[in-house]
Amino acid sequence: MYQQASWMITLLFSVFVILIFVTVLLKSGKRVDYGKIQTKGYFIRSVWFVVVFSVMLAATYFTLQDLPFEGAEAEETPVDVQVTAIQFGFDVSLDTLKVGDYAAFHVTSKDVNHGFGLFDDQLTIVAQTQAMPEYTNTVYYKFTKPGTYTILCMEYCGMAHHLMKREIKVTE
């Protein structure tokens, strides 16, 4: 959902920016007094500032409601899964889960920085965090669909980085 939303917002904004720059380009030829342009321009700029600032404020408010590192403990007790990354693979304490399980992945690394990317069977990322030496990051994900999920490395860690892979089965 977030991927699609990002793509659509970027496309729409890009079209808007292209239209603005092309319009100004097409209207750059005939010279008029800059004082008039400034008076009108500064007014438009004020409106533009209010619009951009308001959009940013609203986006901040709504998106901060859904932080991936804050588990909904009140909802249910999570199923703990320990994940340890090592050049070049993942050790997991549990590789079979059930639909409806609310998993808490506790992710760390034994050597260098790695990334923990959880992909569904359509190869779409559904959750991620960093796998760091000396630290444990916890990320939460509720499995709502059965299938084979794959953990892939999302932080460059050496020559076999792209081969780091571990499957998790989610059954009905």
Partner 1 sequence: MTTTLHVAIDSKTKKAVVFPLVFSGVILLLMMIFGVVMLLGQGKLIELNPIMFYKIMTIHGTGMIGVSALAGSCIIWYFLKQYVPLNTAVFRLNVYLFLVGVAMVLVGIFAYDFAGAWTFLYPLPAQSGGMWGKTGAALYLGGMLVIGTGFLILLLEAARAIIKQYGSLATSLGWPQILGKEKGFGPPPTVVASTMVCIVDIIALITGAALLSMSLINVFVPSFTIDPLLAKNLTYAFGHVFANSIIYMGVIVVYELLPRYTGRPWKSNKIFLIAWNMSTLFTLIVYPHHLLMDFVMPKWMIVMGQVLSYMNGLPVLVVTAFGALMIVYRSGIKWDVASSFLYLSMFGWVIGVVPAIIDATIVINHVMHNTKWVPGHFHMYMGLGACAMILGFMYYLTRMEGGRIDNKLDYLTLWLYILAFLGLSGSFLFSGKSSAPRRWAEHFPEWIPADVVAAFFGTFVMITFLLFLVRFISYSSNIGSKINQSDDIRPSTHG
- Which H helix or E strand runs over 152? strand 147-152
Distance CA 25, CA 159 (A): 48
Backbone φ and ψ of 141, nearest 5°: -150, 135
Q: Which stretch binds partner 1 (CB under 8 A): 77-85, 94-102, 128-136?
A: 128-136
Within positions 60 to 99, which residues make up the interface with partner 1, using CB under 8 A?
60, 63-64, 66-69, 87-88
Q: How far is the CB of 66 from partner 1 (least distance, A)?
A: 5
If binding is defined by CB under 8 A, does position 106 make contact with partner 1? Answer: no
- Smaller CB separation from partner 1, 16 or 98: 16
If binding is defined by CB under 8 A, does position 124 make contact with partner 1? Answer: yes
**Measured at the alpha carbon of residue 154, what is the angle toward residues 148 and 155, in degrees to the nearest 5?**
150
Q: How far is the CB of 34 from partner 1 (least distance, A)?
A: 5
Query: Rounded to a whole number, what is the largest CA-CA distance in the chain?
Result: 72
Q: Which stretch binds partner 1 (CB under 8 A): 45-53, 77-85, 90-98?
A: 45-53
